[in-house]
Amino acid sequence: MNLSTAPLLAFGAHPDDIEFGAGAIVARETQSGRPAHFAVCSRGEAGTNGTPAERTKETERAAKALGATVEFLELDGDSHLELRNAHALKLAAVIRTVRPALVLAPSPEPNQHPDHWRLGQLVRDATRLARYGGLKELKSQTPHAIGQLFFYALGPGAEPRDLSPVVIDISAKEVMAAWTKSMEAHASQMKTRNYVELQLARARVHGLNAGVAHGQLLWPNDPLVFHSLTDISRGARRF
């Protein structure tokens, strides 16, 4: 697998999760030539603002702004997601279809919307199931092993406490413009809170802490492997 051009697959529990939590990272990858696909596991039907139809259209516009394709999965519905092996198998089937090098999912940290952490755990299970050739439920698809699973956090409470993040430099104007446009596509959610301003502020703080203009954080599920020390440019501390 060519890790630099194989697809990126991002899972979100609700419309807007991927965009707010990792949208700039997606834009950075697609603008560098990597295909990206979103798998959204509800249509936001439990939300205070925006109908499922409105939020579906908003997600389609947002994905387009980021250069990604999108599909919606039917699991248990917004605010009803349960940890079921059948769900992990369904997500594993998506992984076998897309055949990504990289998978993004909401963090499994429990202090957040329950759909978020449950989906993070289901995706982690699915990445393993996707590579097991003997699963009868997935026999029609070729097994697939991803390169790495990364978690994103929609807010400080969702940031994993037992993992160290990697900082992705998202400072490029084209990246920031695409990301902002994708977040603004979710206009229905701005009635609840100005999430665009909130996420831009978070990115500014993360970037400044790392010595760049803007940054988004990802938490690797497994230790990162580098071929040599030259693959690692510097640490966020900038000694």
What's the pLDDT tens digit per position in 38-61? 999 999 999 899 999 999 999 999
Q: Where are the domains of the chain?
A: 8-231
Amino acid letter, 206: H
Task: Give residue 226's pLDDT band: very low, low, confident or very high (50, 70, 90).
Answer: confident
State the chain's maximal CA–CA distance in angstroms. Answer: 52
Query: How far is it, in rounded angstroms, from Cα 179 to Cα 231?
Result: 27
Residue the block writes with tokens 């897309």: 98
Residue the block writes with tokens 């492997």: 225
Residue the block writes with tokens 């909130």: 198
User: Domain 8-231: which topology?
Assistant: Rossmann fold (3.40.50)
Strands (E), 73-196: 102-106, 148-152, 166-169
Paired tokens of 19: 């965009």
Residue the block writes with tokens 């959204």: 40
What's the pLDDT tens digit per position in 93-139? 999 999 999 999 999 999 999 999 999 999 999 999 999 999 999 99
What's the pLDDT tens digit per position in 157-209? 999 988 899 999 999 999 999 999 999 999 999 988 899 999 999 999 999 99
Query: How far is it, in rounded angstroms, from Cα 60 to Cα 38?
Result: 10
Strands (E), the chain: 8-12, 36-40, 69-72, 102-106, 148-152, 166-169, 215-220
Q: Is-contact 132 106, C-beta < 8 A?
A: no
